[in-house]
Copies of this chain bind each other. A is one copy, B any other.
Amino acid sequence: MCVPGCLEAIGRGSRYAVRAPAERGGHAPARRSFTRVLDLTHALGPDFPSFDPGPSLVTETVATLAQDGYNMRRWCLVEHVGTHLDAPVHYADAGASADRLEIEDLVVPLVVVDIATKAQDDPDAMLTPDDLAAFEAAHGAIVAHSCVAMYSGWERFVAGKGFCNADAQGVMHFPGVHPEAAAFLIERNVRGLAVDTLSLDPGRSRDFPTHRAWLPTGRWGLEAVANLAALPPTGATIVVGGPKIEGATGGPARVIALA
């Protein structure tokens, strides 16, 4: 849940009011350009860290060049593994599935907010409204119809148990987005929220308030995004190559930045 009163306060006009006119609504066909292509996707194998106790990805060979003339495999995987999309239906029965997201919502300006310094010393660090306000003071208002990515530096742990970072009681500790920050970004009409950790919510969360504040509004999330440190705070475009599988609550995505 969002902190009580948070959304109502924003409805009345919060202390994080937009200071500059932001692009809102519609999809004006502004010309966008790029020279660099960056892969923001981790390679996904059977050992990729996951919330789920069971195997999140199993592959099986179903044809080989020697026997069949071509190589082919079958995958069995849960929708929320690897660098992956969260569709609104993940947390709202009436929400859009991955195949029903508007394509214009999957190619949007990318804003990278760096909280790596505080996350270095605190695995429970969160992206907060104050971080966003400081970002805007330095870089201007976060534009509408964008994706905001939290860069915590956590991808350095992706190959091992440090990515989940569970304590002796099994409680995970990794950075995430504070639900008030999600509310701030809803106010800015941001479309996507990305993190370089396993979850939009911090690891120790029990009830996933950021997921619950964000996804039911029709917005999407991206988890376990890679390579954010290679990008500028603003100016890049993110292309979310999410699955177009009917009814998908999300799924592994090829996430690409154009900068």
By a beta-carbon cutoff of 8 Å, the part of chain A in contact with chain B is 29-39, 41-45, 57, 59, 62, 65, 69-80, 82-83, 89-93, 99, 103-104, 106-107, 207-208, 211, 239-254, 256, 258
19 A–B contacts, CB within 8 A, in A order: A29-B35, A30-B35, A32-B34, A32-B35, A43-B244, A43-B246, A65-B92, A71-B89, A71-B90, A72-B90, A72-B249, A73-B247, A73-B248, A75-B77, A75-B79, A75-B245, A239-B239, A243-B252, A245-B252
Which residue from B38, B78, B80, B241 sits with its C-beta under 8 Å from A253? B241
Task: Report the Cα distance A77→B59, complex, angstroms.
Answer: 10
**Which listed residue (B37, B77, B82, B103) contacts A256, Cβ 8 A?**
B103
Cβ–Cβ contact A90 & B106, under 8 A: no
Q: What residues of B have a CB within 8 angstroms of the CB of A245 in the complex?
A: 43-45, 57, 59, 75, 82, 252
Closest Cβ of chain B: how far from A221's Cβ, in Å? 12
What CA separation (Å) do A45 and B247 show in the bound complex?
Answer: 9
CA distance A251 to B72 in the complex (A): 9
Which residue of B has the minimal Cβ distance to A101?
B39
CB distance from A198 to the nearest CB of B (A): 14
B71 A74 Cβ-Cβ under 8 A: no
Q: Which 7 residue pairs are nearest across A and B when measured between Cβ atoms?
A: A241-B241, A33-B33, A241-B254, A39-B103, A45-B246, A29-B35, A76-B76
Contact A90 B70, CB 8 Å, known A35-B29, A35-B32, A43-B99:
yes
Contact of A29 among B36, B90, B253 (CB under 8 A): B36
Q: How far is the CB of A38 from chain B (nearest CB, A)?
A: 7
When distances are taken between beta carbons in the complex, the residues of chain B under 8 Å from A247 are 59, 73
Of B32, B73, B79, B240, the residue contacting A33 (CB under 8 A) is B32
Are the CB atoms of A79 and B70 closer together than 8 Å? Answer: no
Contact A80 B76 (CB under 8 A): no
The interface residues of chain B lying within 8 Å CB-to-CB of A244 are 39, 41-44, 82-83, 252, 254
Chain B residues near A241: list those with CB within 8 A: 239-242, 253-254, 256
For the complex, give the distance between the alpha carbons of A28 and B146 in Å: 28
Nearest Cβ distance between residue A200 and chain B, in whole angstroms?
12
Q: Is the CB of A74 within 8 A of B72?
A: no
In Å, the complex CA distance between A89 and B70 comes to 8
A35 near B45 with CB under 8 A, answer: no
In the bound complex, what is the Cα–Cα distance between A64 and B256 (angstroms)?
30
